[in-house]
A and B are shown apart, each in its own frame.
Chain A
Amino acid sequence: MWSAARALAVRDVQLVWRRRGDALQPALFALLVLVLFALALGNDPAMLARAAPGALWVAVLLSGLLTLDTLFRGDAEDGSLEQWLLAPVPLAWLVLVRVATHWATTALPLVLAMPLLAELMALPHEHWPVLFAALLLGTPLLALLGAVVAALTVGMRRSGILVALLALPLYVPVLVFGAGSVTAAAQGFDPVGGLLLLAAGLVAALVLAPLAAAAAIRIALA
């Protein structure tokens, strides 16, 4: 089980490295959205700081959507998913490993670049820990929810906007609690409630999302 997981993780990292130009795209996209936000809202730092939690979360969420379609599509087209199905390890386990490496290579760099982005939006330094915690809990949750949607649409030739339409309702609670916890902290309230809800969602998704995605892949390939 571990050797299959390691093989898959190594493969994905190698693939990302081979296409490192493409791999930077989500981070650049998020940066672009935030730069536009900052420019459009003008040079009032107080106003920027108020909009910062929402803008940061929207940028992260949209950049995640951008890469969602690639999660299983390449593997479906070249027959890799068939071999996943035939492997002696559970499909859900492989899905979990795939989502974990996807998150680590697309969302984690963005989370680590958060000081830069937060500075851009003039978010006061004392709120950074809350933002960081919210993103660290929220982005894997987004990736897991997205995996279910990506698996549902993997049988279609071009899923396009359908992925976004299916994913957004699932993403809204994450956005509400993620941005909400930072806003709460900014207004002097306790942000722990939102963070705990994100953590609970993450735990539930860690268990349930791979199973749901695996079932969807089985249906798509039949």
Chain B
Amino acid sequence: MPDPDSPVPSLLSAQALRFTRNGVPVFGPVGFEVAAGEALLVQGDNGAGKTTLLKVLAGLLRADSGDIRLQGRGAAPALRARVIAYLGHLPAQKADLGALENLRFLCGLHGSRPGMSLEDAMATVGLAGYEDALARQMSAGQRKRLSLARLWLSPAPLWLLDEPYANLDLEGIDLVNRMVQAHLRDGGGAMVTTHGAYSAPPVRTRLLHLERPS
């Protein structure tokens, strides 16, 4: 049990996090915090290690050194799965399945927020009417929106979004911003990578700038 006198632990905190691949440093050491109701914008050039950082936080890669804490506790796999929703570059959608079938599988795998239907989530991301469209017939932007629908249904409080704006039109970029805003209002947190070309969501934002280690 956390000490009642201490302030509420932040959703995510990392200290002196460092990652090397085959002996070549990819990023770090970096340290940061994401509190509830707050977004952390990760900026950096191509190859600065933004994607790798998110993968390390999600648990797909293991950091060389450093400490990751979720809600004040050590990041055990079970806790990670409950706290983190990760949106990566790969859509994890089967080309031969329909949009709704893909969404149903991913929500079955990760669990979904109670009282929210898959169809509602599809409508929220602007895919109403595409329920039966096969994923391979959808555009890259539409597949991104389907991934966003999965994120929207996820019960996890911390969103790790890797280039969520990629492939989206202006309305889609606005959709991501509105989703992040609503998520933060509900007490969630978000960590968003971008190479800086897009406007940040209009929420309480911290900035983390990654640079290629020399």
Which A residues form the contact surface with B (CB < 8 A)? Answer: 3-4, 6-8, 10-11, 14-15, 18-19, 74, 78-80, 82-89, 94, 221-222
| Partner of B101 from A14, A83, A89, A94 at Cβ < 8 Å | A14
In the bound assembly, the distance between CA atoms of A74 and B80 in angstroms comes to 25
Contact B92 A82 (CB under 8 A): yes
> Within 8 Å CB of A6, what residues of B?
108
Question: For residue A17, which residue of chain B has the nearest CB?
Answer: B96
In the bound assembly, the distance between CA atoms of A219 and B162 in angstroms comes to 22
B81 part of interface (Cβ distance < 8 Å):
yes
Contact B60 A222 (CB under 8 A): yes
Contact B97 A11 (CB under 8 A): yes
Give the shortest distance, in Å, between B192 (CB) and chain A (any CB).
18
Give the shortest distance, in Å, between A210 (CB) and chain B (any CB).
16
Give the shortest distance, in Å, between A10 (CB) and chain B (any CB).
7
Measured as residues with beta carbon below 8 angstroms from the partner, the interface class of chain B is 20 to 34
B206 part of interface (Cβ distance < 8 Å):
no
> Within 8 Å CB of B59, what residues of A?
85-86
Give the shortest distance, in Å, between A89 (CB) and chain B (any CB).
8
Contact B104 A7 (CB under 8 A): yes
In the bound assembly, the distance between CA atoms of A88 and B92 in angstroms comes to 16
| Given A82-B60, A222-B61, A222-B62, A87 and B92 contact (CB-CB distance below 8 Å) | no
| Partner of A86 from B80, B93, B97, B101 at Cβ < 8 Å | B80
Which B residues form the contact surface with A (CB < 8 A)? Answer: 58-62, 78, 80-82, 84, 86, 88-97, 101, 104-111
Contact A79 B92 (CB under 8 A): yes
Contact B82 A88 (CB under 8 A): yes
| Partner of B90 from A7, A11, A82, A86 at Cβ < 8 Å | A82
In the bound assembly, the distance between CA atoms of A78 and B104 in angstroms comes to 17
Contact A8 B105 (CB under 8 A): yes
Contact B108 A7 (CB under 8 A): yes
In the bound assembly, the distance between CA atoms of A86 and B86 in angstroms comes to 8
Contact A78 B95 (CB under 8 A): yes
In the bound assembly, the distance between CA atoms of A74 and B90 in angstroms comes to 12
In the bound assembly, the distance between CA atoms of A18 and B95 in angstroms comes to 10
Q: Given A3-B108, A82-B88, output 11 extra A-B contacts at Cβ < 8 Å.
A: A78-B95, A79-B89, A79-B90, A79-B92, A80-B94, A86-B81, A88-B81, A89-B109, A94-B109, A222-B60, A222-B62
| Partner of B78 from A7, A85, A88, A221 at Cβ < 8 Å | A88
